Amino acid sequence: RGVDADVGLAGLLARLRHARRRLATTDDPLGAIAARSGFSDASNLSRAFRREHGVSPGAWRDGLTGTTVGYFPAVTGGAGRAD
């Protein structure tokens, strides 16, 4: 990979970190979180989030509130499932 690809990936990961933080600390709708995190819309955020974490933003947020059995996401980490 070139420097441009690394910079692009770093930017994407920073935007996803920001989105995770907002998912964990607010009850804002996904569209608002997407806009505040630098994504063009909720669909773009959802695709990037699922690609990086293996779950949708809604499932990740549900895991924080305990409504998804066996799912334990870290606010600053990635997806994690109980064995």
pLDDT values of the chain reduced to their tens digit, one per residue, 83 residues = 566 678 889 999 999 999 999 999 999 999 999 999 999 999 999 999 999 999 999 999 999 876 544 444 455 444 443 33
Asked if 58 contacts 30 with a C-beta cutoff of 8 angstroms, the reply is yes
CB 55 within 8 A of CB 71: yes
pTM > 0.85: no
